[in-house]
Amino acid sequence: MRIDTSNLKRLCRTRRIRLHDLLEQAGVSRTAYYSLSRKESVLPKSVCRIADRLNVSPLRFLADPSGPVRRIHELRKRTDAICRQDPECDRDVVFRTLMNLDLPPVERLRKALLRGRQTHVHR
């Protein structure tokens, strides 16, 4: 599991905090952050080897009963169920849609408008 630097920067922008300030408040040096961001996985190698041996994502057996990771597991299960019912649907679109349903309507609209502006039509 890698650090998604673009997602992290987007989260900082959304919360109106500079990455530098975030790192300082979290007690993480810039050197440590950039070192982590270059790693293929921020998980210990032993955890990655266990997951590889089982041919699953480490998220399948790592527990985080508090909040975001549990929510991601729930959304992944719902996404799998929806995709089993309709194999033609795009898994990423289903997952993103389910995630967006947790947001207030104004935030959903803002994200949709931003995404619409980023879409490039190829002829």
Q: What is the reported pLDDT for 103?
A: 87
- The verdict on 70 and 122 lying in the same domain is yes
Where do we find the tokens 């349903």? 101
Indicate if the pLDDT at residue 74 is higher than 80: yes
Indicate if the pLDDT at residue 69 is higher than 80: no
Prediction pTM value: 0.45
- The verdict on 69 and 121 lying in the same domain is yes
SS3 49: helix
Q: Which two tokens stand for residue 10?
A: 């987007």
Residue range of the domain that includes 102? 63-123
- The verdict on 41 and 72 lying in the same domain is no
pLDDT-derived band at 19, boundaries 50, 70, 90: very high
What number of residues does the chain have? 123
> Alpha helix (H) ranges present in 1-123?
5-14, 19-26, 30-38, 45-54, 68-85, 91-100, 105-118
Indicate if the pLDDT at residue 115 is higher than 60: yes
